[in-house]
Structure 1
Amino acid sequence: MKTLKDLIAEAHTLVPKITCSELSSELDHYKIIDVREKTEIDETGSLPNSINIPRGLIEMKMAPDDNSLKAETPIVVYCGGGSRASLAGKTLQELGFKNVKNLEGGFRGWKEFVN
């Protein structure tokens, strides 16, 4: 049986990372998904042009039949530090999305980058 730690480690190996620097120069190229809860976003803010789909709703909100994104759409997922985003990225890959990346360092990394 796998532990949560095992699942996160596996997801980290399967979902490529993108640095804050790389993303900042290509913000308009990606669909950016914040997988944190709304209360976290209300407290800390979010990346420009990101949409909020909490981790627990990824399967329901991003199912191929229920959204306008194509399998090739470039997607960046992020959370506070990276673990939930890796899990969400793995789920998106399993749903058929082929170009999913995890923001290295998550929102905390982004805040450090822009400040």
Structure 2
Amino acid sequence: MTNKHFACKVEDVPTDAAKIVTVSNMPIGVFKLNDGFHALLNICPHKGAALCEGPVCGTTKETDSTEFVYDRAGEIVRCAWHGWEFDIRSGEFLVDPKVKTRRFDVSVEGSDIYVHM
């Protein structure tokens, strides 16, 4: 069973960065993507950096050639300490999906965003 906790207002979440909040003494980044709101623990599993304070970006797509193709713009958060990239929706590290940061379900009621724990 999960409990929902108020995180912030919809208008407080930028489209190009996370809104950092504290919920139940945990630092959480709330993100706005084209499919809604998502929340990740603001701790990088690599070395404990403030993951969600890194840039929201895309990444290079795997191709069969030597060209670089930028993909998934606005769907990735990159840790500012060592550049590890995580999928905002799933919390998975792009290089090894077995490595994850904790993600939380999110709901919106009116203009209030709730994180479920």
Common fold, TM-score beyond 0.5? no
Give the structure with the larger strand fraction: 2
Q: Which has the higher contact order (CA 8 A, sep 6+)?
A: 1
Give the structure with the larger helix fraction: 1
TM norm structure 2:
0.29
